[in-house]
Structure 1
């Protein structure tokens, strides 16, 4: 549930995704109140992913201009919100568009302070796809065996 997918300036038609924010926040608050850990697993592509892991067909699938090869992951997106926010590089680690959307970002920062929340970058459609993803290793190391999935793409 990142800015790239939900912010009205980047995804105007994502009204159902934005409608899922409040129920997701309620779920997070309830889980935290019970002492449960919150794992944020989101897109966060880096240079290594671009040069060693992502296939040309996958890069093409995320291209905004199918006639050029310079519009996929980690390409500059320009400014949004009437020119007040630098969207950064598309779904690239640390960019504004890759942050959690709106109040979800505030909730994430609160969870970091509380020590309940953890963040994991992913470079495929799933944070559990591949061999020894950071999320998978964290699950193993912390011995977490039960997961509840929330958000807009939990299929």
Structure 2
């Protein structure tokens, strides 16, 4: 849910921002219930660039860009590189992150592939293992790419995975996430929504 995908200065139609509200709605209750909040985001390092698969250049080849690491502008920095402004969270969520950071409930985790759990070892894998986390709830932008990629890899590693269907949207803002939700619920885990999650947290 980074600026590159949601900020109106970088997207002519940042419709993916429609999932910002549902995410904001559940954060206070999740924090109060002791749920760890993980902001999993692109944060590519210079040493990662030679190791990225060629498909990443194609996927992020648009509007004059030539793949991850290419310069967007002086203001926004290099595409999805760690520490760049375009890789920061969309402003309303950046505020949420800092709020949770002060509370000790929120954590930033970088990734350099669509999936945060690809291969033998990733920053996300280390984080989850170090805290003995066994269940994951998914929300955010990337219902056609990043979210199902991490969801399936998490399932394959033995995590219990839950998709929040009203807090997940495709990168281009299209609401049709039915195939993703179907596969999540039928094969790889469970599907619910933010209303039912909040009800469950109130009862626990």
| TM-score, normalising length: structure 2 | 0.66
Match of 2:11 in 1: 11
Higher strand share: 2
1:72-87 to 2 correspondence within 5 Å?
72-78=67-73, 86-87=75-76
Higher normalized contact order (CA 8 Å, seq sep 6+, divided by chain length): 1
Give 4+ residue runs of structure 1 displaced > 6 Å after superposition: none
Q: Secondary structure, in 3 states, of the residue corresponding to 1:42?
A: strand
Query: Normalising by structure 1, what TM-score?
Result: 0.86
Question: What is the CA–CA distance in structure 2 between the aligned matches of 1:65 and 1:131, rounded to whole Å?
Answer: 34
| Contact 2:76 2:84 survives alignment (8 Å) | yes
Matches within 5 A, 1:41-120: 41-51=40-50, 53-64=51-62, 71-78=66-73, 86-120=75-109
2: CA distance, partners of 1:54 / 1:129? 12
Residue matched to 1:24: 23
Could you tell me how far apart the structure 2 residues matched to 1:144 and 1:57 are? 31
Give RMSD over aligned pairs.
1.6
Which structure has greater helix proportion? 2
**Deviation of residue 65 (structure 1)?**
6.0
SS in 1 for 2:140: coil
Which residue pairs with 2:137 in the alignment?
148
1:35-46 equivalences in 2 (<5 Å): 35-46=34-45
Matched position secondary structure for 1:18 = helix
Structure 1 CA distance, aligned partners of 2:11 and 2:77? 15
1:34 Cα deviation from its structure 2 partner: 0.9
Q: Distance in 2 between matches of 1:5 and 1:147?
A: 23
What is the distance in 2 between the residues matched to 1:34 and 1:23? 17
Per-residue Cα deviation, 1:78-104 (whole angstroms, up to 9, x for no partner): 15xxxxxx1111100001110110210
Where do 5+ consecutive residues of structure 1 fail to align?
Answer: 80-85
Q: Which residue of 1 aligns with 2:183?
A: none
Per-residue CA distance 1:45-79 (angstroms, 9 max, x = gap): 1111102x20223223212268xxx7211121115
CA distance in 1, matches of 2:19, 2:55: 30
